[in-house]
A and B are shown apart, each in its own frame.
Chain A
Amino acid sequence: MIWVVAVFLLLGVFFGITGTIGVLRFPDVFTRLHAAAKCSTTSIFSILLACMLLKGWDPMSWRIMVIALFFLITSPVSAHIIGRSAWMRGLMPWGRKRKR
């Protein structure tokens, strides 16, 4: 069981590092949002799943499950809010130059 927990924690750290590199390196608001939203959701969900597997049947495990459900609902909503705000302000997506 400890190996499964270690694999999930390693997966979470890997996706966290990947998302941060993407946020630092990508050229545009929308591409940065793509990297940040997907990688943060995957990373946090892997880490919370590892914590649940580590604790087993415990009251802490159910609280972690509530946190995971809340994060799984609100993270895409927050990313959509940021993207919609950037689109409404008229920022151009990175790519071929064209008028919108």
Chain B
Amino acid sequence: MPGSAASVVAVLGGRPGRWLGPACRGAVLLLGMLGGGPVHAEARRPTNDAEVLEFLPNSGLERRELRAGREALRIHPERRELALALARRYIELGRADADPRYYGHAEAVLTPWLVPPSTDPEALVLRATVLQNRHDFSSALADLDAALRRNPRLGQAWLTRAAILEAQGDYPAALRACLALDRFATALASAVCVNSAMSLLGQARSAYERLGPLVAEAQGDPDELLWARLVLAELAERLGLWAEAESWYRAALASGRRNLYLLATYADFLLDRDRSSEVVALLENETRADPLLLRLALAEQRLRHPRHPRHAEHAAVLAARFAASRARGDTSHQGDESRYALRIAGDARHALELAQANWAAQREPRDARLLLEAARAAGRTDAARPVLEFIARTRLEDARLQALLVPPGGQRS
């Protein structure tokens, strides 16, 4: 009786605040949106002027800085450097908090500089970054190509190009982009780029041995160092060097820059090592970014400890956010959603569908692993074949994947 389900939701939606925690509120509202019935969430007219309805995410300093940037651009819309600087700032903020709104603001600021006759190569590179963030890889590559046609000396464009090609699993092309980058970047950036690509082309061990000492001695830009250490940590993990991976992760965390990708990757490392309580400690307050919330919920689930009663709430929030992404036609979260479906919702078939769709878009070792795990859980060994062929072709080495390639036995996540 689909209708009754809708009416139950409508009834629940009537006073969600009283019946359910704030976590479920979103889920109920969404069900109401997507189901047949109208939305009955009870909007109210507050009576107290002092009631806080929303907290803004940035500090006062950042807000004033951004306001000044927008104001300057409003007065001088013709000044390219104002637009580019503001877009860069938005992208930085978007990355720090994994907040897509900032990427959208960046795109809006860049818009006048993306159309002839004012097409600007640097603006194209920045938009490519925004597009990459949305996993719109082909549009991002098109922007980068257009930028490099106008100015082949844009190191940033080569680097971003390498990153996208690597994510797509086209390691030889990524390597070519890194070699082109060589002339326009610092020695460290160039070395990290080249060795990262080589490590995925069957030379993991030698790339690690070349890069390790270089990074250990490197000084300089904290962002560059964080990136280099992170690449090494992931490389050590692929080689099964757990202790070294851990020390690279810790070094990256110590660089004093907040980076959500680092937190997520390190949390995965800890989950693999069965150190869930450390994941909870690391991510306890990181509920705004979906990937971190997913890792937190996975850790809480593993602990099944009365001290973590928030697991159900976190799982419900995740379900609501994935549903919200689907409602707006966004597919960039499919990898995480597959993991959610497999580990938390316990729906191996759905997890497999998502992992397959994700594999069609991006082919990093983690994506390969998602597909292998979902295929095994769903009892569909045939579904894993594209990954096996990919590993055979690229000679990708990854200790975690090797464990999944042996016949079914142990449980991993």
Q: Do A and B bind each other?
A: no
Residues in B lying within 8 Å of A, measured CB to CB: none
Residues in A lying within 8 Å of B, measured CB to CB: none
